[in-house]
């Protein structure tokens, strides 16, 4: 009797499995059929970009559309953030999918008909505004994925939380924002997020490819401000001065030894860059002060601390040797942790990426020294951030305009792949955890 009952249960399970729809196949068809809508969203966002914590129009469009899908939508999170919750009909994990909202203070040069003509005031200057990093594409793909997943509500084993985040590029001076602020305001709670996925499009990675990396995928970032104070004098009588320019020159040269001599480059790369030096007003006056700005990048917490401590030591020692004084501010205004892809989650979802894009199109990438505040989410819950190739076929990755440039350009034909990636990561994770 027990054997018969077990056979009957097995039969009913197989029958239910056979009758259950192939959600990923359905998602793929819908992603292809919604291509024009995805492009339309992307071009609208691209033509009307908004800077960090100013994404009012953008957030309004996102929130209104998600409400039209019947989701529970919250707005105004971390200033302009939007969060929508899609509750599936069956119990299961809470999967978060994240996109950014903000654009950059860049004057666009691309010849496309939907190029941005927006200007605004940023740090006291009139600047152009452009989606020069792909956030417009991320929003459009996530809205499409939200449409598809909401149509599968009755089949979903779990909950999807759609996070549209402001100020990924950093909040304006004197303001707070971004992922760190969203977390403080409870974006990962109620319901509590179990895992988070995101993707980032890059203009120099071939269209049709997905690049991934477990552990440190993108670097931590700490900006720095260094102030060297000396003693001014006539340029013809330098012996009366304590020259902050000569001191700064020695500091710049000495800082280059940190990466070459203090970081084990066999394990991880690192970057120390001085990007701005300001001091002096006239050819024959040695100034009293020089200010330097720069950035530090690392892939482990230990290396990050090594960079910071060595910068402080080198700056203060050089200034002391020259009779000058130094002030070192690290971070000065920006800090993002390492974008850390949970290795277990990455291994678990790799077959999904390969099935979605094709095994030959899924590439284990090198660490990238750019940074992302997706890292704050990944400090709280396991996360995976993958890179979507957006370079038109036949282009040279060494010559195409990079992200953050005025000529940044991506191939929109990759949008269905990005949508399928978001949907399939969600569906497969839910299926494994139900």
Tokens of 147: 């449409």
Contact assessment for residue 222 and residue 216, using Cβ atoms and an 8 Å cutoff = no
d(CA 17, CA 22): 10
Considering 50, 55, 108, 168, which one is annotated as catalytic?
168
Annotated catalytic residue 102 = yes
What is the rounded distance in angstroms from the CA atom of residue 127 to the CA atom of residue 212? 34
Catalytic status, residue 168: yes
User: For 182-193, b where at least 16 C-beta lie within 10 A, e where not — what string?
Assistant: bbeeebbeeeeb
Residue 94 DSSP label? E
Burial of 70 (0-12, 13-18, 19+ CB in 10 A): exposed
Q: Is the dihedral of CA 177, 183, 186, 187 positive or negative?
A: positive
411: phi then psi, degrees, rounded to nearest 5: -85, 110
Question: How far apart are alpha carbons 110 and 96 in whole angstroms?
Answer: 33
- 97, containing H or E segment: strand 90-100
Q: Which residue has the tokens 């030591």?
A: 313
d(CA 182, CA 83): 10
Catalytic residue among 55, 100, 102, 243: 102
Q: Give the Cα separation of 49 and 51 in Å (integer).
A: 7
| 290, 293, 297, 301: CA torsion to nearest 10 | 70
The candidate with the shortest Cα–Cα distance to 99, out of 137, 129, 66, is 137
Tell me which residue of 132, 107, 131, 133 sits closest to 119, measured CA to CA: 107
Catalytic residues: 102, 168
């Amino acid at each position: 009797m027990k054997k018969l009952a077990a056979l009957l249960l097995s039969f009913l399970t197989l029958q239910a499995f056979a009758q259950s729809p192939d959600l990923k196949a359905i998602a793929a068809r819908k992603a292809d059929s919604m291509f024009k809508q995805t492009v339309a969203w992307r071009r609208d966002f691209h033509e009307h970009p908004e800077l960090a914590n100013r994404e009012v129009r953008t957030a309004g469009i996102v929130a209104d559309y998600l409400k039209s899908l019947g989701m529970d939508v919250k707005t105004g999170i971390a200033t302009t953030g939007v969060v929508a919750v899609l509750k599936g009909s069956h119990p299961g994990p809470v999967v978060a999918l994240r996109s950014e909202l903000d654009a950059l203070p860049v004057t666009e040069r691309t010849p496309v008909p939907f190029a941005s003509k927006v200007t605004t005031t940023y740090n006291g200057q009139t600047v152009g505004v452009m989606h020069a990093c792909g956030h417009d594409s991320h929003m459009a793909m996530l809205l499409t994925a939200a449409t598809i997943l909401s149509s599968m509500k009755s089949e979903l084993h779990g909950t999807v939380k759609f996070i549209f985040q402001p100020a990924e590029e950093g909040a304006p001076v004197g303001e707070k924002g971004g992922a760190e602020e969203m977390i403080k305001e409870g974006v990962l709670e109620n319901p509590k997020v179990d895992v988070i996925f995101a993707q980032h499009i890059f203009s120099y990675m071939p269209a049709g490819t997905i690049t991934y990396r477990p552990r440190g995928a993108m670097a931590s970032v700490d900006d720095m401000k260094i102030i060297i104070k000396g003693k001014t004098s006539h340029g013809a009588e330098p012996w009366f001065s304590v020259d902050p320019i000569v001191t700064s020159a020695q500091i710049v040269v000495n800082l280059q030894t940190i990466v070459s001599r203090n970081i084990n480059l066999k394990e991880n790369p690192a970057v120390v860059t001085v990007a701005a030096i300001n001091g002096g007003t006239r050819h024959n006056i040695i100034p009293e002060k020089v200010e330097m700005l720069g950035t530090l990048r690392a892939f482990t917490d230990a290396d990050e601390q090594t960079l910071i401590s060595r910068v402080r030591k080198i700056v203060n020692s050089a200034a002391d040797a020259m009779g000058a004084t130094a002030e070192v501010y690290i971070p000065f205004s920006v800090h993002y942790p390492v974008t850390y892809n949970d290795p277990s989650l990455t291994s678990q979802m790799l077959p999904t990426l390969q099935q979605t894009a094709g095994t030959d199109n899924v590439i284990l990438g090198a660490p990238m020294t750019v940074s992302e505040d997706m890292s704050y989410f990944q400090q709280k819950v396991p996360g995976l951030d993958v890179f979507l190739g957006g370079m038109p076929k036949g282009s040279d990755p060494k010559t195409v305009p990079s992200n953050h440039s005025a000529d940044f350009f991506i191939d929109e034909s990759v949008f269905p792949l990005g949508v399928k990636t978001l949907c399939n990561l969600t569906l497969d994770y839910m299926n494994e955890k139900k």
